[in-house]
A and B are shown apart, each in its own frame.
Chain A
Amino acid sequence: MAAAKKTMTLNLTDAEMGALEELCVKKDLSKTAVLRQALRLYQTVETRVGRGAKLFFEDDQTKEKAEVMML
């Protein structure tokens, strides 16, 4: 089952397109799939931060935490 989808045109700079293509290769995903994952992640982070949560990256070895500032 595939939900109905809408099409849009996306204008990207060379650098942005390069980054997108790099992610596609790394993830073995299509451009659409990468952008959909990015949107899901962005929405999830915004929702959690909106509820008062903080977003951290933790160094696996030192356990040092760095907070990601969300604008």
Chain B
Amino acid sequence: MSVEISSAFLLDVAAGQAVAAELWDAVTEQQLVHWEDEWMPVQREFVERMKAAGVERALLPQSRHWDWRRKAEAFSGSLANPSFCVMCQGMTQGMMIVNTLHKARVASQAGKELIYIEYLENAPWNRRHFASDQPRFAGVGSLLMRAAIEFSREEGFKGRLGLHSLPQSNGWYSNACGMTDLGTDADYQNLHYFEMTPEQADTFIAKGN
């Protein structure tokens, strides 16, 4: 598998400085090993601590059941499901799998092609609720969203994106990404469905997220 790698930057939160990162246009075995060996132990330990502290279930990380190896295997070889990841300091910082076969629902774009984000996840140490004091790197989610917009544009979809959000991420997609919240989707576990129009994509990119 050939992987295209682009240069990018993340913010090292503790140092307050930009650090070099890479955007890969594939999730490879290397990322899955990082997920198994580095992400999962941190996540498991955090969830156990939360449970021991009596934190209610609804507040536990909602993506904790995601199995990236199974997802990667399920979509392996599928032309409609490209994947992306962010690497920094030799470690996988975020992963994303998209789908090219979805249609827009928002009235102004209804029926037009978009890039649907099947899964997008940040490494546990970069998530605010995981890190004991502060996230290690900021900007991973935005970098993956930019990659999705760029891919949408390359495909002629003009930056249109769609996704179903876990409840803990609704605010981020709505406020930070400026996507339109089309409300709960009864056909998809009542998760909120969000879309980004070409104009919203332009705004997101212009903000320099």
Seen from chain A, the residues whose Cβ lies within 8 Å of a Cβ on chain B are 1-4, 27-30, 33, 36-37, 39-41, 43-44, 47
Contact = CB atoms under 8 A, between A and B. Distances in A.
B79 A40 contact: yes
Looking at chain A's contact residues, the main secondary structure is helix
B6 A29 contact: no
Given A37-B101, A40-B101, A29 B79 contact: no
B174 interface: no
Interface stretch (B40-48, B133-141, B149-157): B149-157
B80 A43 contact: yes
Question: Size class of B's contact patch?
Answer: 10 to 19
B25 A1 contact: yes
Interface of B: 2, 4-6, 23, 25, 78-80, 100-101, 112-113, 147, 150, 154-157
Closest 6 CB pairs of A and B: A40-B80, A33-B156, A40-B79, A1-B6, A29-B156, A1-B4
Contact of B112 (A28, A30, A36, A41): A28
Contacts of A4: 2, 4
